[in-house]
Structure 1
Amino acid sequence: MAIDLNLYLDLGILLALLAIGLVIYLVSARTYQSATTVADSYDDWTEDGILEFYWGEHIHLGYYGAPPQRRDFLTAKADFVDEMVRWGGLDKLPQGTTVLDVGCGIGGSSRILAKDYGFDVTGITISPQQVKRAQELTPSDVSAKFQVDDAMALSFPDKSFDVVWSIEAGPHMPDKEVFARELLRVIKPGGVLVVADWNQRDDRQVPLNFWEKPVMRQLLDQWAHPAFASIEGFAEQLAATGMVEGEVITDDWTQQTLPSWIDSIWQGVIRPQGFLRLGLPGFLKSVREVPTILLMRLAFGAGLCRFGMFKAKRSPNSPSPAAAQTAELAA
């Protein structure tokens, strides 16, 4: 009987700890409020170095092939950049091609584009700490520079770049139509847009069900996301700008990137020194992200979320948004 009581006591303590952990997880959500909350979140993740320790220079998912094969976590992330270059047709572009990397993080993709492909890259992020770290990691002989900028209101003139490139920045954008317009606005006529993003299933076709709604709410609230677009919806928004020549090309890389989620948790198991060097706060901060990562794996594995790829060419004859607006007002 004493053994049973001890067992019940242990289970009670465990359940109590789990309940406390769940409360802390929910109360400490990083709900999107403005661009400032996004910047603050990335500043925080960058300053302590935990995210860089585990995710390396590429704060995005990895590419594992189709069907997926076992691959080193950090290698898969670098491979993703090369696969995206090939998918977008950028490997056929000459050295000196100007590229804007929107949502560049700490510059991992920008450095590959500059060093391995000879492109002249400008990386922008809303986070001052990410810009600082990107500059620290970039050798002087690599043609990649970084600055703080807002993807919803880019500081560059119309038709400034040959290529605009963006990985997993879209979920932080509160107005996807504005985001689509800004991405295309700064591309030169005949230039290329290549985007990789986390997307939601198109709920116009299949509405979210009873369990998908709370899961999606957590995916938004925990990582400062105002909304996820669907692949179909964002492709329509790009086309609706009137700046795309032909069709917007899309693809679904969910299977190719799916192993990243569990791999990212496994990194903490096999390399605990990343959070242990920061003591209890580092441990708690790392463990705190596990539920969201697991929810991401559930969402992408069950079809609630999809990993979307987008490619579009800027029409040579399309007017700038400002010129189009002026013509519209005159009419």
Structure 2
Amino acid sequence: MAMMVLGWGLSLLGLLLLAGIGLYLLSARPYRSADSVANSYDQWTEDGILEFYWGEHIHLGHYGSPPQPKDFLKAKVDFVHEMVRWAGLDQLPAGTRVLDVGCGIGGSSRILAQDYGFSVTGITISPQQVKRAQELTPTGLDVQFLVEDALAMSFPDGSFDVVWSIEAGPHMPDKALFARELLRVLKPGGILVVADWNQRDDRQKPLNGWERLVMRQLLDQWSHPAFASIEGFAELLAATGWVEGEVITADWTEPTLPSWLDSIWQGIRRPQGFLRFGLAGFLKSIREVPTLLLMRLAFGVGLCRFGMFRAVRAAASPLATEVSAGVATSQ
């Protein structure tokens, strides 16, 4: 009898997994416009499934170098502190004005305000994320959240001491404009720090057939128009003419890699989520598993890389730089 019940259970699980894969194949979410990104995040925020499993931080965790076993949610918090230290933001005074571009439901923004005393403005294109971020933020914390398009921000030039962004770049169709906007709103001498999913630089090694197929799925399933390479985005930042010295980059693929399988393990370790969100929620969760596995594959074999970027805003504008270069050439 017990074997029969087990057999029925495994059969049901198999059918559910097949249903999830079917949903994955039939319900892609390709990038079409900024609205498609906003709508995707609105839906993920409204149903609460992503927050239940990923917590307040919709980004990868940091597991150390070499990676060590760590709680998935704690690794995400650790990532924020590691990013702060890597960029040297822990040396800045309380009251430093920080813009969090692509803030999600505000997890990083709250840490930057609570633990470092910064004055933080978080922006996202999703109204539902702003609403949820506000609900999660304690009264009195120096944080505000706004609906903004990162490619056309309403802030005046030089509004912030620090511009911070985690995993927002893949949603940007115009990477050069994204680079300009990030630096435009940064004051001279201010620090830009970006963490992003990146593709291998295909100028050095073109993608083969299976790699193009994998990248197409990674783009279409999560509303991404394109991934930049680490080298390519660093070049775009430098090309603005607003960078003092060099753009500093680092590859954090190794310390973030365990996040992909850990995110799947969350569903196994916390089965109460299936009861909380019902069959529809279970199927929505299952449909993300193939993408998570493809992400693990892509980052594991070097097709994708986790890039870190740090730049200091120069005092001169691009126009002034061009004029100076013209004068030097004429002399």
TM-score normalised by the chain length of structure 2: 0.91
Q: How many residues end up aligned between the 2 structures?
A: 317
For residues 123-151 of structure 1, give each alpha carbon's deviation from its aligned partner in whole angstroms, at most 9, with x where no partner exists.
00000000000000001121111010000
Which residue of structure 2 aligns with residue 215 of structure 1?
Answer: 214
Which residue of structure 2 aligns with residue 273 of structure 1?
Answer: 272
Question: What SS does the corresponding residue of 1:233 show, helix, strand or coil?
Answer: helix
* Paired letter, 1:142: L
Alignment of 1:66 onto 2:65? yes
Q: Could you tell me whether the CA contact under 8 Å between 2:97 and 2:162 is conserved in 1? A: yes
Q: CA deviation at 1:273?
A: 1.4
Q: Could you tell me whether the CA contact under 8 Å between 2:20 and 2:284 is conserved in 1? A: no
Question: What SS does the corresponding residue of 1:277 show, helix, strand or coil?
Answer: helix
Q: CA deviation at 1:305?
A: 0.2
Which residue of structure 2 aligns with residue 3 of structure 1?
Answer: none
Q: CA deviation at 1:218?
A: 0.3
Which runs of 4 or more aligned residues in structure 1 lie more than 2 Å from their structure 2 counterparts after TM superposition? 12-24, 323-327
Which residue of structure 2 aligns with residue 94 of structure 1?
Answer: 93
Alignment of 1:202 onto 2:201? yes
**Structure 1 residues 19 and 288: alpha-carbon distance in aligned structure 2, compared to 1, 3 A threshold:** closer
1:117-128 alignment runs, 5 A limit: 117-128=116-127
Which residue of structure 1 aligns with residue 135 of structure 2?
Answer: 136
Q: CA deviation at 1:15?
A: 9.2
Which residue of structure 2 aligns with residue 244 of structure 1?
Answer: 243
Which residue of structure 2 aligns with residue 154 of structure 1?
Answer: 153
Any stretches of 5+ residues in structure 2 without a counterpart? 1-6, 325-331
**Structure 1 residues 15 and 141: alpha-carbon distance in aligned structure 2, compared to 1, 3 A threshold:** closer
For residues 200-231 of structure 1, give each alpha carbon's deviation from its aligned partner in whole angstroms, at most 9, with x where no partner exists.
00000011112111100000000000000000
Question: What SS does the corresponding residue of 2:281 show, helix, strand or coil?
Answer: helix
Which residue of structure 1 aligns with residue 328 of structure 2?
Answer: none
TM-score normalised by the chain length of structure 1: 0.91
Which residue of structure 2 aligns with residue 178 of structure 1?
Answer: 177
* Paired letter, 1:57: E
Which residue of structure 2 aligns with residue 78 of structure 1?
Answer: 77
Which residue of structure 1 aligns with residue 297 of structure 2?
Answer: 298
**Structure 1 residues 13 and 193: alpha-carbon distance in aligned structure 2, compared to 1, 3 A threshold:** closer
Which residue of structure 1 aligns with residue 288 of structure 2?
Answer: 289
Which residue of structure 2 aligns with residue 187 of structure 1?
Answer: 186
* Paired letter, 1:109: S
Q: Could you tell me whether the CA contact under 8 Å between 1:200 and 1:229 is conserved in 2? A: yes
* Paired letter, 1:93: L
**Aligned residues with identical type, % of pairs:** 77
Question: What SS does the corresponding residue of 1:194 show, helix, strand or coil?
Answer: strand
Q: Distance in 2 between matches of 1:244 and 1:74?
A: 34
Question: What SS does the corresponding residue of 1:211 show, helix, strand or coil?
Answer: helix
Q: CA deviation at 1:274?
A: 1.7
Q: Distance in 1 between matches of 2:118 and 2:85?
A: 14
Q: Distance in 1 between matches of 2:14 and 2:223?
A: 29
Q: Could you tell me whether the CA contact under 8 Å between 1:68 and 1:259 is conserved in 2? A: yes
* Paired letter, 2:126: S
